[in-house]
Amino acid sequence: MTQEQFLAALVCPQTQQPLQRSADGQTLTAPDGTTYSVIDSGIVDMIYPRELFEDDAREQHLYDLAYQRYDRGVSWVFETLNHSDEAATRQFMISLMELKPGQTVLEVGAGTGKDSALIVEQIAPGGTAVLSDLSPNMLRLATQKLQPNDVNVHFFLGNGSYLPFPDGTFDSVFHFGGINTFSERKKAFAELTRVVKVGGKIVVGDESMAPWLRNEPTYQILWKANPLFHAEIPLEDLPSNAEKVTWHYIFGNCFYVMQYTKAAQAPQIDVDLPIPGKDFVDNWRLRASKVEG
């Protein structure tokens, strides 16, 4: 997909309606009059809402300030967590998508591109990687690091809870490291799932300390130092058509990575299925009366 085709494929991040392109192709206007523009480095700013919710605005600001320190220092965080092998763990997370050459992948919260490089490797040759983040400075650094020849790479600034693509655009979607602070986390899961094809994989991870370790002395230190380790794996935020859901604890069991597949529809419960005999009904009545008793 060329950059031209990528820009033409973008839709309104709120309504998924088509966008009107300006004569020079650099500005996109939604039916409600909101405009989105190509900024520097070929990055198109698709952030919605234009005035972010408080938590998202704070994260954007903090990462914009700390992008160099993050890029240099995040490996140290993983090193403290059971001397985890960061490269192998990131490779494991990416492997959960079971990517193939030629596929089209979206990464939300790509940051400075640490997982993006691995995604690009897996879809070469001929694939398309669409990399996004809320922080311009984080994403600019990613653009400098990623310039592969045999994969199309496109960048946009975006909020993971409002994705500017039609339903079923991607073979897989990946996010690691930010969802705990998203202002609208349930909506983000709905969006990550919406833009994947039926049968495609969604892989998401972030901090969540394994419950059986929370009283260990060194884990107690972490627990106090960073409230994000208190987060639970957000299973209640998954959409109803998520299936084959599995998760692993990683990085010293202080983070999780979950994967699920998008089903065509939510599982159906058949409340009209005929009951197989009166004794079956009596058995259920007996159980219910014991509970009441």
The tokens of 282 are what? 């009596």
DSSP string, 29-49: E-TTS-EEEB-GGG-EE--SS
Q: Of 250, 237, 225, give the one whose Cα is nearest residue 183.
A: 237
**Of the two residues 88 and 264, which places its CB atom closer to ligand SAM in the complex?**
88
Contact between 108 and ligand SAM per CB under 6 A: yes
Crossing angle (nearest 10°) for helices 116-123 and 86-95: 50
As measured in angstroms, the least distance from the Cβ of 130 to ligand SAM is: 13
Name residue, tokens 């409340």: 271
Burial class (CB in 10 A: 0-12, 13-18, 19+), 17: exposed
**Binder among 96, 138, 195, 222 for ligand SAM (CB under 6 A):** 138
**Of the two residues 201 and 217, which places its CB atom closer to ligand SAM in the complex?**
201
CA atoms within 13 A on the CB side of 100: 4
As measured in angstroms, the least distance from the Cβ of 121 to ligand SAM is: 16
Contact between 191 and ligand SAM per CB under 6 A: no
**Of the two residues 51 and 270, which places its CB atom closer to ligand SAM in the complex?**
51
As measured in angstroms, the least distance from the Cβ of 145 to ligand SAM is: 11
**Binder among 6, 13, 44, 109 for ligand SAM (CB under 6 A):** 109
**Binder among 13, 164, 177, 252 for ligand SAM (CB under 6 A):** 177
**Total interface residues for ligand SAM by CB under 6 A:** 22
8-state DSSP, 50: S
Burial class (CB in 10 A: 0-12, 13-18, 19+), 176: buried
Contact between 133 and ligand SAM per CB under 6 A: yes
Contact between 160 and ligand SAM per CB under 6 A: yes
**Of the two residues 1 and 74, which places its CB atom closer to ligand SAM in the complex?**
74
Tell me how many degrees the CA angle 201-204-206 measures, rounded to the nearest 5: 170
Contact between 135 and ligand SAM per CB under 6 A: yes
**Binder among 6, 59, 94, 252 for ligand SAM (CB under 6 A):** 59
Burial class (CB in 10 A: 0-12, 13-18, 19+), 183: middle
The contact set with ligand SAM (CB under 6 A) reads: 56, 59, 63, 74, 108-111, 114-115, 133-135, 138, 159-161, 176-178, 181-182
